[in-house]
Amino acid sequence: MKVINDVRDMRRWTERQRLAGRRLALVPTMGYLHEGHLSLIRLARQRADVVVVSIFVNPTQFAPNEDLDRYPRDFERDEALCRQEGVDAVFYPSAQTMYPPHYKTYVITEDLSRVLCGKSRPSHFRGVTTIVAKLFNIVRPHLAVFGQKDAQQLIIIKKMTADLNFDIDIIGAPIVREADGLAMSSRNAYLNKEERQQATVLYKSLQLARREAEQGNRSAKDIKKKMTALIESAPLARIDYVELVDTQTLTAKERIEGETLAAVAVFFGKTRLIDNTVLNL
Ligand code: PAF
């Protein structure tokens, strides 16, 4: 397995793979890999001949008051896990490499990036789309895999890919959960014991939404009220949002019909957790 830090080296390496007729998959990550990431890598493996994992804690997607400095990092462990999963190359650039001094160019996907997580994190998706566009240009993969756990991110990246004519298939991978239902996330590492126990309310609220919808409740207002009450029953939970939105436009739904994204964001102390499920009626 190659570990590549330099943009030109990465380009040369992937160019050789393309010339040899190999299908290339990119799995973009911020490292501190867990089972969720490994499932993305395995999916990439099934769909491509060559798998590149990028590991880069992207500063532009963190606001100044967010957790960039304390974001967990362990490159040695990540490298070993990638090796174990049969990854062909890890792209591990420095912040200086990706954002040299006087860096000026950003990619913005309008509207979709202002709702849900974009309301409390207004510059977040600008950072995500910028770094993903840069990675697409450097690696030039045939396909790229992202987790459904970050549903809004996945929808925005699909839109950016279509709008900017990247010839790349964007694949969404199912959410991987702990035994008690908590969606896997690098940020779970911040939770203390009580927060960790109470964090299961996110998934429970989504299961409640599913049950209500399947039993014929079509009122988004009523389902959101019930989800909110359930989350608020956890004393340490502070709701950022509970939303039922259209899976394409991310606009709020009044009636639960067709495909609906049920999405929640909840703080436990300083840690903000997100989760979602798609209701298909
Ligand atoms: O989902 C993530 O880990 C990040 O947002 C991504 C896509 C790697 C961009 O930094």
144 CB within 6 A, ligand 1: no
**What is the set of active-site residues?**
37
Binding site membership for beta-alanine: which residues? Answer: 61
Say yes or no: 32 and 88 in one domain.
yes
Q: Name the residue with the closest Cα to ligand 1, atom 9.
A: 128
Binding site membership for (R)-pantoate: which residues? Answer: 61, 153
Q: Is the pLDDT confidence value at 281 over 90?
A: no
How much is the pTM?
0.97
Residue 191 lies in a domain: yes
Q: Is the pLDDT confidence value at 67 over 90?
A: no
Question: Ligand 1 centre from 29 Cα, in Å?
Answer: 5
Q: Give the distance, in angstroms, between the CA of residue 72 and the centroid of all CA atoms in the same chain.
A: 16
CA distance 187 to 165: 33
Beta bridge partners of 172: 146
Say yes or no: 7 and 128 in one domain.
yes
Band (pLDDT 50/70/90 cuts) for residue 265 is very high
Helices assigned H by DSSP within the chain: 7-19, 35-47, 75-84, 95-98, 117-120, 124-139, 151-163, 193-198, 201-214, 220-232
Token couple for 224: 């959101």
Residue 180 lies in a domain: no
Say yes or no: 45 and 167 in one domain.
yes
160 CB within 6 A, ligand 1: no
Say yes or no: 214 and 235 in one domain.
yes
DSSP string, 158-214: HHHHHHTT---EEEEEPPPB-TTSPBP-GGGGG--HHHHHHTTHHHHHHHHHHHHHH
Say yes or no: 167 and 232 in one domain.
no
Q: What is the largest CA-CA distance in the chain?
A: 57
Say yes or no: 129 and 55 in one domain.
yes
> pLDDT tens digit string along 102-161?
999 999 999 999 999 999 999 999 999 999 999 999 999 999 999 999 999 999 999 999
* Cα dihedral 7, 156, 154, 44 sign: negative
Non-local CB neighbours of 266 within 8 Å, separated by 6+ positions: 199, 201, 202, 231, 237, 238, 239, 240, 272, 273, 274
131 CB within 6 A, ligand 1: yes
Say yes or no: 67 and 100 in one domain.
yes
> 């099934």: which residue's tokens?
46
Q: How many domains does the chain have?
A: 2
CATH of the domain at 143: 3.40.50.620
243 CB within 6 A, ligand 1: no
What is the residue range of 245's domain?
186-280
Element (H, E) at 279: strand 271-280
Q: Name the residue with the closest Cα to ligand 1, atom 6.
A: 29
Q: What is the pLDDT of residue 82?
A: 98
CA distance 41 to 28: 10
Say yes or no: 8 and 87 in one domain.
yes
Atom of ligand 1 nearest to the CA of 29: 8
In the chain, % of residues over pLDDT 90: 99
Say yes or no: 14 and 62 in one domain.
yes
Say yes or no: 88 and 193 in one domain.
no
